[in-house]
Amino acid sequence: MILALATIAASAKDFYDENGGYYGPEEFQDFGGAYYTGDYTSPFKTCLGKTDEEIQAKLDQLWDHYFKGASNAKVYFDRGYEAYILDTGNNDVRSEGMSYGMMIAVQTNHKTEFDKLWAFAKNHMWHKSGQWDGYFAWLCGTDGYMRDQNCAPDAEMYFMMSLLFAANRWHDYRYMDDAQYILEKCWKNGNGSLFSESHKIICFQPYNCSDFTDPSYDLPAFVDLFSRWSYTNQDKWMMATYATRNHLYKSSHSRTGLFADYSEFNGQPKSTSYNTNSHKYMYDAMRCAMNFGMDYYLFGADAERQEVMAKRLIDFFEEDDYKHARFNWDGSSPSESYTVGETGANAVACYCLLNNPDYKDAVKRNLEMAWNVKPLTGQYRYYDGLVHYLSMLHLCGAFKIWKSGSMTDSLTGPTTTGVTDKNVDNGWYALDGMKQNCKPSKKGIYVKNGKKVIAQ
């Protein structure tokens, strides 16, 4: 143990970006996921032989297309001090797309665009009182007019996670305050919680539709980080971590590996009167492959079951020859053509199969398909385009867990704080170097014994 920790500490300086953001090891390696190792090597590099330069060029191409491209290519629209992600299929602004845009911006180190998106979301979508307090209106006009107060919980998940990453990567703890506000409001100790208080699984809606869920809202890697970084309800977030991984596995069909768009808390498909396709593998469900593939390479805590899920899913699409996009849960009644979003999400699921020689050809095929996708143009570029873009962040090794610091985060590494090696003593210091009279009573990030720590 001591030798392992010394090795990690010795290499910690390799895990900082130009902002002083830290993404390296945080504790002894229990599972081997990137959270523990800091290893984000791209499978495009190891399996397809792509160079670092080629991978960065691919990321630059995606950013330039969807954020800076022509009017029929981009989804990011600047309003001066604000910006929004446009659902080009419906000509409106959705919390889902806003949160995706913020995650893409923080992972690609575009703070200006992140801040403008967050300004729009805060000013026009974020509820700060009433029953929806802490949540986001899922639908707005491009003018910011709130068209529906209800929330879409996958957005809350991405908003919280992107804000936490932004706070840590850019050392701006106003983001941390905002993230912690939402995290606390997710549990209302009764009606209106984002997660079922009894099942500890995310709800389809906190009100009215709280007795079932959408499996593509299951983001176990995010919930795991919430359980570690939230200032409140850590016990509930910890239980939700286990429940989320269990539900995602139960929602995967035992033969096809497919997921339904909506499901019961026991994993069985959910039929509804207002969505006749809710019990099928449709538009939402394709994201589940990205969700469990992400959890596999970031944490590896549920690796065995996630490998099973990946085998079932990839076997099914191999048999279909990647021709179709929509199915019944059991794989019957195929329809529509295989999509760009599925191409990306299923390739992320292949993280679970990288070490299985029986799947070498299938993994390579999926990676090649994801790599060769041309960024979408036209009316329906928004949803599939962004799911593929998020997938490519994972596959390019560009989706990192940005941490506030760790036992290895010594002051010898890059830092933007005012703390120097002269401050390395038993006292508490603010990030601007100001020594505190005692342990801080205000929650936040401080320095103690030369290491960044969270005061709670």
Pair (431, 348) in one structural domain: no
For position 225, which CATH number holds? Answer: 1.50.10.10
Q: What is the mean pLDDT of residues 314-321?
A: 98
Question: Is residue 26 very low, low, confident or very high in pLDDT (cuts 50, 70, 90)?
Answer: confident
Q: Whole-model pTM above 0.85?
A: yes
Q: What is the mean pLDDT of residues 296-322?
A: 98
Pair (376, 425) in one structural domain: no
Q: Is residue 234 part of a domain?
A: yes
CA distance 269 to 266: 9
Q: Tell me what percent of the residues of the chain surpass a pLDDT of 70.
A: 85
Is 430's pLDDT higher than 80?
no
Q: Is residue 158 part of a domain?
A: yes
Pair (449, 302) in one structural domain: no
Q: What is the pLDDT of residue 406?
A: 47
Pair (282, 430) in one structural domain: no
Tell me, yes or no, if 154 is annotated catalytic: no
Pair (381, 427) in one structural domain: no
Q: For residue 153, which amino acid is it?
A: P
Catalytic residue, candidates 26, 87, 96, 307: 96
Pair (259, 340) in one structural domain: yes
Domain of residue 280 covers: 42-395
Pair (60, 200) in one structural domain: yes
Mean predicted lDDT score pLDDT of the chain: 90
Pair (432, 286) in one structural domain: no
pLDDT by residue (tens digit) across 352-382? 999 999 999 999 999 999 999 999 999 999 9
Is 290's pLDDT higher than 60?
yes
Q: Is residue 19 part of a domain?
A: no
Domains of the chain: total: 2
Q: What is the pLDDT of residue 10?
A: 43
Q: Is residue 329 part of a domain?
A: yes
Q: Is residue 16 part of a domain?
A: no
pLDDT by residue (tens digit) across 412-427? 333 344 544 444 455 6
pLDDT by residue (tens digit) across 104-113? 999 999 999 9
Question: Is residue 190 very low, low, confident or very high in pLDDT (cuts 50, 70, 90)?
Answer: confident
Tell me, yes or no, if 224 is annotated catalytic: no
In this structure, the number of other CB atoms found within 10 A of the CB of residue 41 comes to 11
Report which of 303, 202, 211 is spatially closest to residue 249, judged by C-alpha positions: 303
pLDDT by residue (tens digit) across 67-124? 999 999 999 999 999 999 999 999 999 999 999 999 999 999 999 999 999 999 999 9
Catalytic residue, candidates 218, 284, 295, 307: 284
Which of residues 6 and 161 earns the better pLDDT score? 161
Pair (213, 64) in one structural domain: yes
